[in-house]
Amino acid sequence: MSGFLLAQVLTGLANAGALFMVASGLSLIFGVTRIVNLAHGSFYMIGAYIGYSLIQVLPGIVGFWLAILLAGIVVGLVGLLVELIVLRPVYKAPELFQLVATFGVILVFQDLTLMIWGPEDLLGPRAPGLRGVIFILGEPIPKYDIALLIITPIVAFLLWYLISRTRVGILVRAATQDREMVGALGVNQAWLFSGVFALGTALAGLGGALQLPKGGADLLMDFNILTSVFVVVVIGGMGSLPGAYLAAVIISVVNVFGVTFLPQSTLVMIFVVMVLVLMIRPYGLLGREEGAGEHGQVGEPELPFRPATPKTKIWVTLGLILLAMLPLYGSNFTQILAIDILVFCLFAASLHFLLGICGLVSFGHAAYFGGGAYAAALLLTHTGAPMEIAFILAPIGAALAALVVGLICLRLTGVYFAMLTLAFSQLLWSLVFQWGEVTGGDDGLVNIWPAEWLKPTEIYFYFAFILCVGGILFLRHVAHSPFGYALRGARDNEVRAESTGIHAQRLRWLAFILAGTMAGLAGGLFVFSKGSVFPNELEIARSFDALIVVFLGGVKTLTGGVVGGAFFKGVEEILTRFEYWRLAFGCLIIIVVIFAPQGIVGTLRKVYDDRVRHRA
């Protein structure tokens, strides 16, 4: 038995190797630059592919290890290039805006990898001399696992040395704590950021190359590792390297025991651990509380919201009338497309309300969109209730979910709040995925169609039009109401807001529920327009879709969510018809990010304002 336990732990520790390297890179990048690098999984993936190609060229034991090292270095150089071209122009943008750019990078890398290495999975080459197993207490342990057990602490030690014993490390640590101060002391922040980004991506590439002998390279690796890496970084504490190591080990070992004693738990386990850790230690195991002044206040100060001018109102009304008359001149499919876009815009607007008005960054907004869709679909499937009743349950169900999640998550702020919302949405996803008897698992729920009277496309179009436009206008109205003012006050200066008698926490909770309700409404409209719902609608990818369009549209403008949503869906609709649409779409996003760092609406308004000022 002791042999068995030891073998379990050793397997866990070996698994922790690649995970730690990728996670420490992400943690380092976040700690210094505050960039949530969504493309980190992509660097891991190209690390594996480049490592694979290098090993084919370099023979022997020395060649093998050299290839792995080189893979890390090459990926680091690619990372440097990405930082210089894509990220450097947007450091001045609102916080978290950079994640839109990294999303573009993901798309570009996906297509480039497919073009260079082809679609087939590559089986990782074996490490020369390390094939087979050795027996420890009678249990077989692969030799390469032993190698990983040795290498990981070495890398961790070197990193620790670099960070805590060198001048570069001092700067990095200083920047992690207070980057404005480091800048004020005359340190060239730009190069510090570039260097850290290159180092972080090199670690991801190294992780990718190191796991080759245990697996290989395939085109889905980038997304497949992303969730676990985020979990590790969050559990360890954002920006903390020892934390990342500890968390990688805990997650890996817990996983190994989970596989043995609770084999059904493979999906849920890490999210349960994540939620538990964050509820007990909100800043992760070894993280520390965020410094003040980090919440969306980078860049130019925000202008107060203006009510729309009469001229704007006329234009918007005309546009809405034109849209409302779509069934008169548009084809059936145009209306379907319009429904899709409207639903997505409402979803984006609900997230924008949280982000822009409340300053709450949710990484798990899909939980309410998909949650609403599932609430309606479940009622319809299991009770055969009329469609109208089921539909109403969508916003209500989402509101209830938001009520509970909001209560727990709002104890945290900033990026930790974001991470906890992510954890809850993942928990919901794994629940729906796993509980096949009720939710249909990944085979989803089908035959969720609207009532007879709603079935004609024109009627459903008007149904969606009224609810989506109404919902969006309502959110806009709320932003201009005293409630909205109070929320913005609490966002910009909580202490002052509280001293004027505003119960900031309760207001935020209400706002969170409102945003959840609206997302649920969008989810309800979605499920009845598609006739089916699958766990995809609860995935991280859906949450990030919404985040990306909000930033793309402009987080500091009222219309950002809607404009971003329409732009994203419209362009996607055109581009996906082409073979290399991901490359084109990725490049387009990157270009928009570089030239419109305030988002589409924000930048257009700036251009317009500048012109007015020049004229005056």
d(CA 549, CA 531): 25
43/347 with CB nearer other proteins:
347
- The CA-atom distances, in angstroms, between 574 and each of 111, 331, 343, 581 are 17, 17, 18, 9
Q: Is residue 383 a contact point for other proteins (CB under 8 A)?
A: no
Q: Is residue 133 a contact point for other proteins (CB under 8 A)?
A: yes
Nearest by Cα to 126 from 208, 207, 50, 64: 64
Neighbours of 460 (CB within 10 A): 19
Min dist CB 578 to other proteins, Å, is 9
Neighbours of 66 (CB within 10 A): 14
Q: Which of 289, 388, 443, 609 is the binder for other proteins (CB under 8 A)? A: 443
Nearest by Cα to 351 from 339, 369, 338, 375: 369
Nearest by Cα to 573 from 293, 344, 285, 246: 344
Structure tokens at 415: 């990026």
Q: Interface residues for other proteins in 502-541 (CB under 8 A)?
A: 526, 530-532, 534, 536-537
Q: Is residue 609 a contact point for other proteins (CB under 8 A)?
A: no
Q: Is residue 119 a contact point for other proteins (CB under 8 A)?
A: yes
Q: Is residue 110 a contact point for other proteins (CB under 8 A)?
A: yes
Q: Is 421 exposed, middle or buried (0-12, 13-18, 19+ CB in 10 A)?
A: buried
Min dist CB 7 to other proteins, Å, is 6
Min dist CB 530 to other proteins, Å, is 5
Phi, psi of 482 (to 5 degrees): -55, -35
The piece of 137-145, 233-241, 287-295, 299-307 that touches other proteins (CB under 8 A) is 137-145
Q: Which of 264, 309, 499, 500 is the binder for other proteins (CB under 8 A)? A: 264
The piece of 8-16, 285-293, 511-519, 555-563 that touches other proteins (CB under 8 A) is 8-16
Q: Is residue 499 a contact point for other proteins (CB under 8 A)?
A: no
DSSP alpha helices (H): ranges in 441-539? Answer: 457-480, 482-492, 494-499, 504-530
Q: Is residue 40 a contact point for other proteins (CB under 8 A)?
A: no
Q: Is residue 33 a contact point for other proteins (CB under 8 A)?
A: no
Min dist CB 439 to other proteins, Å, is 11
Q: Is residue 219 a contact point for other proteins (CB under 8 A)?
A: yes
CA 327 to centroid of chain Cα atoms: 36
Q: Interface residues for other proteins in 567-586 (CB under 8 A)?
A: 576-577, 581-582
Q: Is residue 259 a contact point for other proteins (CB under 8 A)?
A: yes
- The CA-atom distances, in angstroms, between 594 and each of 34, 43, 102, 188 are 18, 21, 12, 21
The piece of 3-11, 236-244, 501-509, 597-605 that touches other proteins (CB under 8 A) is 3-11
**What's the CA angle centered on 54, arms 51 and 56, to 5 degrees?**
110
Min dist CB 73 to other proteins, Å, is 25
d(CA 541, CA 110): 15
87/423 with CB nearer other proteins:
423
577/615 with CB nearer other proteins:
577
d(CA 351, CA 327): 29
List interacting residues with other proteins (CB under 8 A).
4, 7-8, 11-12, 14-15, 110-111, 114, 119-124, 131-133, 139-140, 142, 145, 214-216, 218-221, 224, 228, 252, 255-256, 259-260, 263-264, 266-267, 331-333, 336-337, 340, 433-434, 436, 440-444, 446-449, 526, 530-532, 534, 536-537, 576-577, 581-582
